[in-house]
Amino acid sequence: DSGVTQTPKHLITATGQRVTLRCSPRSGDLSVYWYQQSLDQGLQFLIQYYNGEERAKGNILERFSAQQFPDLHSELNLSSLELGDSALYFCASSATGTSGPTDTQYFGPGTRLTVL
């Protein structure tokens, strides 16, 4: 158990809909990362938040957005869903302070999204 929690475990929805995935980081970790794992694209970095602020962006679609709240949990919002958005979405967290090297990212169990 990494200490990172994600809800829900599974989500089934229809094209055009909007969903929200939730992540709670490990106790004390300030950074949250979102990744998408699909058969086509493999594991791809989407976005990172550090202590409530967006820190870095990867291959995140404009239809997707995220935020990190004052209690450090994060939500990934996916809208106007398409069949190709079906994937396993992982959240990871790390300590990542304001100085020092990149910390290790510990991953949650993932949310499996199926778009029908």
Partner 1 sequence: AQKVTQAQTEISVVEKEDVTLDCVYETRDTTYYLFWYKQPPSGELVFLIRRNSFDEQNEISGRYSWNFQKSTSSFNFTITASQVVDSAVYFCALSEALFSGGGADGLTFGKGTHLIIQP
Instruction: Indicate whether 107 belongs to the interface with partner 1 (CB under 8 A).
Output: yes
* Tokens coding 9: 């475990």
Q: Whole-number minimum distance, CB 26 to partner 1, in Å?
A: 12
Which residue stretch of 14-22, 70-78, 79-87, 105-113 sits at the interface with partner 1 (rule: CB under 8 A)?
Answer: 105-113
Are 48 and 42 in contact by the 8 Å Cβ rule? The answer is no
Q: Whole-number minimum distance, CB 97 to partner 1, in Å?
A: 9
Instruction: Indicate whether 28 belongs to the interface with partner 1 (CB under 8 A).
Output: no
- Round to whole Å and give the CA distance between 18 and 45: 20
- Mapping DSSP onto H, E and C, the string for 22-87 reads EEECCCCCCEEEEEEEECCCEEEEEEEEECCEEEEECCCCCCEEEEECCCCCEEEEECCCCHHHCE
Are 72 and 25 in contact by the 8 Å Cβ rule? The answer is yes
Instruction: Indicate whether 12 belongs to the interface with partner 1 (CB under 8 A).
Output: no
Instruction: Indicate whether 105 belongs to the interface with partner 1 (CB under 8 A).
Output: yes
Instruction: Indicate whether 96 belongs to the interface with partner 1 (CB under 8 A).
Output: yes
Residues of the shown chain interacting with partner 1 in the complex, contacts defined by CB under 8 A = 2, 31, 33, 35, 42-48, 55-58, 88, 90, 92, 96, 100-102, 104-110, 112
